[in-house]
Copies of this chain bind each other. A is one copy, B any other.
């Protein structure tokens, strides 16, 4: 999986730390970090929660243009 730099950027733009976003989304800091690092593949509900916490849409934060999918 590839890194999610759009998420990292959106978080930076809101001046939120990984921990702050994790708290807002109700998950652990490691989960946010792992998503940004592309180490795993969040569920759609978590993506939706993250989008709302950052005021972004799914397409803005999680759409990928082909690249690497393997499930």
List residues of A whose CB falls within 8 A of some B CB. 1, 26-27, 41-49, 57-59, 62-64, 69-71
A41 in contact with B43 given A58-B59, A63-B48 (CB within 8 Å): yes
Whether B71 and A46, one on each chain, are in contact in the complex, defined by CB atoms closer than 8 angstroms, is yes
Q: How many copies does the complex hold?
A: 2
Nearest chain-B residue to A35 (Cβ)?
B44
Give every chain B residue within 8 A of A44 (Cβ-Cβ): 41-44, 47, 62
B63 A57 Cβ-Cβ under 8 A:
yes
- Bound-complex Cα distance A64 to B63 (A): 16
Smallest Cβ distance from A52 to chain B, in angstroms?
8
Interface pair A69/B41, CB less than 8 Å apart: no
